[in-house]
């Protein structure tokens, strides 16, 4: 897979956050880094997209 220039900023911010947390430093909270729950919700959307493409119908996305 290839990375594009639009990904450099978000990944730089992510790695700066990791570095700060590993070194026990305070990290800025804005913008807030993604959480595991954010990832789960993103996967629910992707699953719905796949299901919709397969069935040819609208799919309701629910996240608990």
Residue-wise pLDDT for 30-47, tens only, equals 877 788 999 999 999 999
Three-state secondary structure call for residue 54: helix
Q: DSSP secondary structure string, 32-44?
A: PPP-HHHHHHHHH
For the chain, the distance separating the N- and C-terminal CA atoms, rounded to the nearest angstrom, is 31
d(CA 21, CA 30): 15
Mean pLDDT of the chain: 87
The position carrying tokens 């309701």 is 60
Q: So where are the chain's domains?
A: 1-33, 35-64
Residue 2 has pLDDT above 70, yes or no: no
Question: Both tokens of residue 43?
Answer: 């996967």
């Amino acid at each position: 897979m290839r990375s594009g220039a639009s990904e450099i900023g978000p990944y730089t911010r992510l790695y700066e956050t990791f570095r700060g947390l590993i070194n026990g430093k305070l990290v800025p909270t804005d913008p807030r880094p993604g959480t595991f729950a954010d990832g789960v919700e993103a996967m629910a959307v992707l699953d719905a997209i796949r299901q919709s493409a397969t069935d040819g119908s609208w799919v309701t996305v629910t996240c608990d």
